[in-house]
Amino acid sequence: MISLALLSPNTRGVLCLVVAIACLTVSDAIIKWLSPELALHQITLLRSCVALLLVMLIAPLEGGWHTLKTRRPGMHFIRGLLLVLANMFFFTALAALPLAETVTLFYTAPLFICLLSWPLLGERVGASRWVAIALGMTGVVIMMRPGAELFRYSSLLPVLAALSYAAMTMLTRKLGLRETAGALTFYIQLAFIAVSAVAGLLIGDGQFDVYANPSLQFLLREWRWPDATQMQLIAACGIIVAFGGYLISQAYRIGEAPAVAPFEYASLPFALLVGYYLWADWPEPRAFLGTGLIIGSGLVVVYLDNRAWRKSLRRAQIDF
């Protein structure tokens, strides 16, 4: 078995991200399953309460309660709002679009991340990485199956989610230099709880639920007390989100954004399988070509990154 200590920071970040993506795909499927019956902000509030409790239980294992303290509450607040926006756009799209299609459109996010990482973080995006990202985005275009039906109102929501998520990732990278993954996850869940509670007070009575659009219905629906099965699903979702959120924070805390970001695409094959199993959503054959390009481009990025990292490590050992 290969020790994680022998892997480059970027590779460890990628491993964290892939496991997180698998978890969050299951969470997305649960929320899509609940979307015809419950309101989005109600699900988010209950889910985040469970997730926050789990994060607080994990905190002692990461060094104690003091690891949750921060001197940058403003940046945490902005980061939390960005992720709340990303989730709102993504999940309202999920209520109207197939899971795999929503995820595909969302994965313009790594492109935004790469575009923002140089001016905001000063991280170098080499030519080889740009070629790999271009191949990955070609795969996204193939999976999008461009056509008149795709470019409806709901299809714009995942792209807005992607932009919000990319901006949030930049703040994760900045905060992660001094904050623990537990702290990053803790304040995210606080932001979800605060925004969801305010939304419940303002629109939780369902007075604005007058539209036929499923995305707007999911956003504006009246709060209803969940039954036992729904509560179990929400609790499971909270546990999954806490674990996945911790790993995502860890991924971008220890890895460079351009190297880690391409593996956001790992959720595409997960979404295809889950969407088919639960809703019999199965894309056209050319979508598999797109998936192959996306996964292959990510693997190329990590291979190039690890080769460069091993060379720099050998040079450092020789100099020493």
Question: Which has the higher per-residue pLDDT, 29 or 151?
Answer: 29
Residue 317 has pLDDT above 60, yes or no: no
Q: Rounded mean pLDDT of the chain?
A: 79
Give backbone dihedrals phi and psi of 91, rounded to 5 degrees, phi first. Answer: -75, -30
Write down the domain spans for the chain. Answer: 4-319
Residue 223 has a pLDDT of: 93
Mean pLDDT lowest for which of 74-78, 214-218, 246-250, 281-285? 281-285
**Mean pLDDT confidence for 22-43:** 91
> In terms of pLDDT, which residue wins out, 149 or 169?
169
Maximum alpha-carbon separation in the chain: 70
Q: What is the pLDDT of residue 150?
A: 47
Determine the average pLDDT of the residues in 242-246.
Answer: 81
pLDDT of res. 86: 93
pLDDT class of 75 with cuts at 50, 70, 90? confident
Average pLDDT over residues 97-115: 77
- pLDDT confidence of residue 230: 95
Structure tokens at 101: 């299609």
Give the predicted TM-score (pTM) of the model.
0.76
How many Å apart are CA 189 and CA 67, to the nearest integer?
A: 16
Instruction: Please give the pLDDT value at position 287.
Output: 65
Q: Which two tokens stand for residue 228?
A: 């036992």
H/E segment holding residue 145: none
**Assigned token pair, 239:** 């546990």
Of the listed ranges 85-99, 154-168, 199-213, the one predicted with least confidence: 154-168
Asked if residue 209 lies in contact with residue 221, where contact means CB atoms within 8 angstroms, the answer is yes
Average pLDDT over residues 287-305: 70
- pLDDT band at residue 145 using 50, 70 and 90 as cut-offs: low
Report the alpha-carbon distance of residue 24 to residue 266 in Å, rounded. 11
**1 confidence band (pLDDT: 50, 70, 90):** very low
